[in-house]
Amino acid sequence: MVKVSIIVPIFNTSKYLKRCIDSLINQTLEDIEIILINDGSTDETHNIVKSYSDPRIKYYKRKNYGIASTRNFGISNSTGEYISFVDSDDYLNNTFCEEMYNKAIKDNLDMCICNYYNYFENKQEIKRVDIISFPITSLDVTPNLFKDINLSSCNKIYKRNMFDSDKLLFPDVQKFEDIAFVTSALNIAKRIGKLDLPLYYFLVHDGSVLDTVDDKTFELFKVLDIVYNEFKNNINVRKYLSYLIVDEITTYIVKQKYQQNKILKNKFIDDGYEYLKTHIKNYRKHSYFKNINIFKALVEKNKLLTKLYCNM
């Protein structure tokens, strides 16, 4: 058993892949395994991976199953005391594994989270993001973690025994799988800790806004259903669950401004407001709207104004 398993699903990211793999093989913690899973790529992914001879690399080449299935495949083929996930266009600080593992072992953590950077490709600009600090805790003790940490599966490590019951897996969706996975991880973890270092680099693509409005965006409702059903009876988390739902739905409703297909645009807006009405009592009075710009709140509370804005 190695100390950390790094699971990397890869699909047509050859432009960034070498930088990602280099950041993994150059980790200061050497007792790791690097699980690279080629999820049906049609670019130079295979040749790039095969150019590396590091014995810690475990390479799998499969047909395209999607990121959720590919990560689950990686979990089932990992041996590490802790498991981490890296997207193939992102990269790590070379001390990520060492710092995160040492913190997790020292404090006997089930889940450890670190700060991160957003790397904006078009601007060649890097911005540090600091997640709220907290002592060793659990979701029952600190339910605001539900909304106060980022819900990416990356920039975190997870103890192997969290996966033993098969309760912690990525859902069978093509998008937004991280939301269900991370909230479930928070629910399972008994000891959650934070490392106040920025050790992960998320790449923000030039076209990332446009990518948020394809037809897969409708999977947000399926993912939120998964989360809602897991937490709807959890009194501690209930208000943060509603915050998450309002935040996610309104965010992607407004992003329909970039959807070129008018039928899909209006359907998502209609479905989004129906979801809010069904799941959140008096959603227009939710505290979420008190924390955002007045104009933005006015638009997001009103379906007609939202459609006007998105069709401008």
The pLDDT of residue 210: 44
303-310 helix and 238-254 helix, angle to the nearest 10 degrees: 40
CA–CA separation, 39 vs 21, rounded Å?
16
Q: Residue 165 has what pLDDT? A: 76
Q: Letter for the amino acid at 173?
A: V
The pLDDT score that the predictor gives to residue 208 is 52
Q: Is 259 helix (H, G, I), strand (E, B) or coil?
A: coil
CA angle 281, 282, 283 (to 5 degrees): 90
d(CA 4, CA 15): 26
Q: What's residue 205's pLDDT?
A: 79
Q: Is the pLDDT of residue 207 over 70?
A: no
Which tokens hold the place of 202? 């998320």
Residue-by-residue DSSP string for the chain: --SEEEEEEESS-HHHHHHHHHHHHT-S--SEEEEEEEES--SSHHHHHHT---TTEEEEEE----HHHHHHHHHHT---SEEEE--TT-EE-TTHHHHHHHHHHHTT-SEEEEEEEEEETTTTEEEEEPPPP--SB-TTT-TTHHHHS---SSSEEEEGGGGTTS-S---S-SS-HHHHHHHHHHHH-S-EEEEEEEEEEEEE-TTHHHHTTSGGGGHHHHHHHHHHHHHTT-TTTHHHHHHHHHHHHHHHHHGGGG---HHHHHHHHHHHHHHHHHHSTTGGG-GGGGGS-HHHHHHHH-HHHHHHHHT-
d(CA 74, CA 33): 11
**Three-state SS at 89:** coil
Residues comprising the chain, all counted: 312
Q: Which CATH architecture has domain 4-206?
A: Alpha-Beta Complex (3.90)
* pLDDT tens figures, 151-206: 999 999 999 999 987 789 999 999 999 999 999 999 999 999 999 999 999 999 76
Do 104 and 82 form a contact (C-beta atoms < 8 A)? yes
Q: Report how far residue 15's alpha carbon sits from residue 69's, in angstroms, rounded to the nearest whole number.
A: 23
Q: Spell out the domain ranges in the chain.
A: 4-206, 209-310
Three-state SS for 118? strand
Which tens digits make up the pLDDT trace of 249-295? 999 999 999 888 999 999 999 999 999 999 998 999 999 999 899 98
Residue 215 is predicted with a pLDDT of 82
Assess whether pLDDT exceeds 90 at residue 233.
Answer: yes
Q: Kindly report each contact of residues 162-165 with a partner whose C-beta sits within 8 Å and lies 24 or more positions away, as own/partner.
A: 162/110, 162/111, 162/188, 162/189, 163/75, 163/83
pLDDT in tens, 90-142: 999 999 999 999 999 999 999 999 999 999 988 889 999 999 999 999 999 99
pTM of the model: 0.95
8 A C-beta contact, residue 184 and residue 168 = yes
Query: Does the pLDDT of residue 209 top 80, yes or no?
Result: no
Sign of torsion, CA 171 176 182 183?
Answer: negative
